[in-house]
Chain A
Amino acid sequence: MTVIESTSQVSAPQTDLPARTAASPGRLALRQFTKSPSGVAGACMLILIILVAVAGPSLYPVDPLDLVGAPFMPPDADAWFGTDYLGRDVLAGLIHGGRATLAVGAVAALITIVIGLVIGAVGGFFGGAIDATMVKITEFFQILPPLLFAMVLVTLFGPKLTTITLAIGGVSWTSVARLTRAEFMRLRDLDFVKASRAAGASNVNLILRVLLPNALPAVIVSATLAIGVAILFEGGLSFLGLGDPNVMSWGLMLGQNRNYILDAWWAVMFPGAAIFLAVLAISLVGDGLNDAINPRLRRRS
């Protein structure tokens, strides 16, 4: 232990802060975040990736589904990243595919977080039979391997971008729900919540205005990581042939080219590397946020 006796009292009462002051801990966390070199590096990487996905298609207007040359053309001056098994431009795929992949990741993660927050908040706030029901639902989803469940859903309902997004978002919310529930149960009995209740706040008000802002710091990290998981899931589904064939995405490139890996390694390696970098950037940001938001987990220097 390097902690000296006198410093141990500093961090404890933080969580008792009422919701109104939530803005200043947020700014504090941001300042703390900028001190973590890996978190900042991740954020820069992520911003770069998003920029490419947003602005790239207009700067490099090659249709990723068009056949632009001979199949299996290795990277050279004409096509920097080569062509795939059909003769489509790999660079165009990387730039345009990023849009779909990141969009699926973000929207699916949003669905994950919303479902997780609702289930966790309702269970943790009301307790009793409602909580027991929510816990059972969570437990049920926990025993189904998320990726496998998503595969079954997409197979049944067809590989369209919306189905894929909904399937990914609908299967992997259990950890967010458990975290939210735990936070709500902890916060529920704190004095400032009791005070708001005594002041006549309605349940909806209590949940949305009092408890949620205070529970968010604990949830925000797993929410960030959920985007990474969703991107990996999109890749996994596409890899198994469950990608939307009409929308180019990194996963689809991988899935369609993987049988020709010995003929054109570049058509497999680059999209995979793109997924890898995106997920890496997101988990770096997640780590940085974690260190900034949860001070007790902060590494001792």
Chain B
Amino acid sequence: MAFATHLARQIINAVALLIAVLVLNFCLIHLAPGDPVQVIAGEMGGASAEVVAALRAKYGLDQSLLQQLSIYLANVAVGDFGYSYYFNQPVLGLILQRLPATLYLTLCALSAALAIGTLLGVVSARRPNGAFSHAVTVVSLAGYAAPIFWTGLMLLLLFGSVWPILPVVGMTDVVNPKHGFAYALDVGRHLVLPSLTLALVFIAQYSRLARVNMIEALSADYVRTARAKGLPEWLVVGKHALRNTLIPIVTVAGHQFGNLFAGAVLVETVFSWPGMGRLVFDSILRRDYPTLMAVLFFSALMVMTANILTDVVYRLVDPRIRTGRR
């Protein structure tokens, strides 16, 4: 009951923030140097006089700013994010077409980072001053400091020329197209390097977080209680300590979707992964503003969704939030 109200309030808040993002987009178009129509058409769109005139009419560019804004919002409300003259198709279709590839990549990287990061952190927390623990600390520092595009390029160099056992370009084998199960396997092979590259940064963060939280959990009174009950060590660590360790990690992971997505833009560019990130790169290169603006909006939409989902999961896992403190 209280949960439903809370969720409804969050969704209303999210919608308000997303409208604010649209207003921001609108402002940016008008603040940018040059004629807004040029921005809307995209500099490299090769907009003819005809097209420009049509755009002026469509976006009411001779009317007041407020009217222009309402026209813009009304267009977006029916799913019209403008037309990409470079790709020669509506922006919405373009984005929906690229969305799945990006979701594969980000979700794959996220699960890998969560699993590997937690595992490394938990194992190193067992002996906080041991050699393994120090190794994990060093690796996580390095993983945090290494620019993601550079790591990607180095892996590309390694697997592209030195040791070519994994595909480094694209999402599928274009020369020998596969079908059915072989297709899935092919995508999986192409997914390895991009998702590993993307995961590295987050593995670094989560292993650190897991290590700190696990050390804290292992010294907590309830863990001592669990041991005093005569429970075996795997149950003490795997149930009592782990659940308490996971909550902050899941929360942080959920609230980092924006960084994950931004990382995907760089990784997709390195490995020519045909997702939204690659789309961002292409639209930057072609000054295709409508697409770029729409991607910004959709990334905010994804971040909002991730935040709300995280909140729901958090409430499910932590009874203190679910049932309310007394």
Contact = CB atoms under 8 A, between A and B. Distances in A.
A139 interface: yes
B284 A148 contact: no
B72 interface: no
B288 to A, nearest CB: 9
Given A152-B292, A155-B289, A145 B258 contact: yes
Given A236-B266, A275-B147, A148 B142 contact: no
A279 B141 CA distance: 10
B139 to A, nearest CB: 12
B150 A276 contact: yes
Contacts of A148: 258, 261-262, 265, 280, 295-296, 299
Nearest to A234: B147
A88 to B, nearest CB: 19
A279 B157 contact: no
Contacts of B142: 276, 280
B149 A239 contact: yes
Interface stretch (B57-65, B188-196, B300-308, B316-324): B300-308
B70 interface: no
Interface in B91-123: none
Bin chain A's interface residue count.
Answer: 35 or more
Contact of B145 (A146, A152, A228): A228
Given A143-B304, A235-B150, A279-B145, A261 B157 contact: yes
- B interface, by DSSP: helix, strand, loop or mixed? helix
B39 interface: yes
Interface residues of B, number: 50
Contacts of A283: 141, 144-145
Nearest to A278: B145
B21 A143 contact: yes
Interface of A is mostly: helix
Contacts, number: 139
A235 B147 CA distance: 8
A154 B79 CA distance: 26
B154 interface: yes
B296 A241 contact: no
Contacts of B20: 140
Nearest to A254: B150
Contacts of A276: 142, 145-147, 150
Contact of B154 (A139, A235, A269): A269
B145 A144 contact: no
B161 interface: yes
A147 B265 contact: yes
A1 B280 contact: no
A126 interface: no
A272 B149 CA distance: 9
A235 B284 contact: no
Interface in A143-178: 143-149, 151-153, 155-158
Contact of B28 (A143, A152, A235): A152
Interface in B124-182: 128, 141-142, 144-150, 153-154, 156-157, 160-161
B287 interface: yes
Q: Which 5 A-B pairs have the closest CB atoms?
A: A272-B150, A145-B258, A147-B262, A280-B145, A279-B145
30 contacts: A143-B21, A143-B304, A144-B299, A145-B261, A146-B258, A146-B259, A147-B259, A148-B258, A148-B261, A148-B296, A148-B299, A151-B284, A151-B292, A155-B287, A156-B39, A235-B147, A236-B147, A240-B280, A241-B281, A241-B285, A258-B149, A258-B153, A258-B270, A273-B150, A276-B142, A277-B145, A280-B141, A280-B142, A280-B145, A287-B141
Interface of B: 17-18, 20-21, 28, 31-33, 39, 128, 141-142, 144-150, 153-154, 156-157, 160-161, 219, 258-259, 261-263, 265-266, 269-270, 280-281, 284-285, 287, 289, 292-293, 295-296, 299-300, 303-304, 307
Given A1-B219, A299-B128, 4 more contacts: A144-B300, A254-B147, A276-B147, A280-B142
